[in-house]
A and B are shown apart, each in its own frame.
Chain A
Amino acid sequence: MKAPTLFKVNEPNVIYEIVDGETILLNLNSGYFFNLEGSGEIVWQYILETGNVKKAIQIMTSANRKIREMISSSVTEFVALLVNEKLLVPSDTVESSHGLQETEEKLKASAQNFSPPKMNKYADNQNVLFFSASYFIEEKGWPESIENTGLIGV
């Protein structure tokens, strides 16, 4: 079986944002928080726009053939980490056949001055999040699933 090459963000379980120029992600199910470094930020952006990891690697390796093996393997490993953390899930469809021109240019530039994509994972605020009313209140009110959270008390 061929490994998937198309991915999408595991919404609504995953939320993400660029804050002060830094890409941050939160898996609301696991409570793990992540930030991306190196070429990880632009690879993530390209996946958001197209869902196409294979094409991201093609663009990057074409831009820097000298280290194409390194680029290919590190981006593949990076995406595997994102999938392993359930931040990305395989997709059947391409979001778009092309990313924004600006994103593709940044992808090429990141390959030419390559810094391996990196994902950092943090767990230290996990419990505070799970105990936050902001986390529980849904648009329709109090979730029925709260019965299964283990937070039920006296």
Chain B
Amino acid sequence: MNKGRSSYSVIIPVFNGEKYLDEAISSVLAQTLKPEEIIIVDDGSTDSTAEVVKKYHGSVLYSYQSNKGAAAARNTGLRMAKCDFISFIDADDIWVKDKNEKQMKLFNQHPGTEIVLGFLMPVSSKPQKHDINFPAKKSLLLTHLGSALIHKTVFEKIGNFDEQLALVEDTDWFFRVRESGINVWIQNEMVQYYRIHEKNSTRDKNKTNFYILLAYKKSLDRKRKSGIQDTL
């Protein structure tokens, strides 16, 4: 069932996210443009993530699966999502309250746009709860899914997340966005607080670098398959 032209599904993939999940969900519920549905995909958490979610019973859809990685959790969320627009938020991040309202407006103002991507602001691991005026200074434009609102047709064009990639599945997906010429509208506003903490998945540089190289190799293989030869 299609829920309509301006409705959006929120997907929150989470693995052992008890510490910050509550704040992430609160920021979703506080959106000035309410989501049609909030899908939480628990990727095999062994902490009290499920207990945190219980607090929101009736407001969120909860799906538990054995641990398969962030890409698989995102894909589960995509399969469940019923709306034309998709917005991801990681379980440790926080949206500003009008993120999705403003991004939806940009979609309406700029026909042909397929992704709206805003800026994010890195914040420390211990901000004051429910206080989004953290001592942050500057925001950044990064290809981070949590800063985007995505038309669902993009996934039909370029596919879902690659479950072979235990990390950097988002980088790989944005490689495909670029390769496919998807129209990305850059929103010159900060839309998300990106939390830097001791468990950010990309802190293991050896592992991250391996998967970055793997994503590049996949990009190279796609080019070969399509017959594109664009070496410098």
Contact = CB atoms under 8 A, between A and B. Distances in A.
A94 B194 CA distance: 44
A142 B231 CA distance: 33
A139 B141 contact: no
**Chain A: interface size category:** 35 or more
Interface string B122-164: 1000000000000000111111100000000000000000000
Residue from B139, B212, B219 whose CB has the most chain A CB atoms within 10 Å: B212
Contacts, number: 112
B231 A122 contact: yes
A154 B190 contact: yes
A19 interface: yes
Interface stretch (A97-105, A106-114, A123-131): A123-131
Nearest to B125: A141
A53 B38 CA distance: 58
Contact of A153 (B190, B213, B231): B190
Interface stretch (B6-14, B15-23, B39-47, B171-179): B171-179
B202 interface: yes
**Chain B: interface size category:** 35 or more
A148 interface: no
Residue from B171, B189, B214 whose CB has the most chain A CB atoms within 10 Å: B171
Contact of B142 (A32, A35, A124, A133): A133
Given A26-B213, A122-B231, A124-B179, 4 more contacts: A134-B168, A139-B204, A151-B142, A153-B139
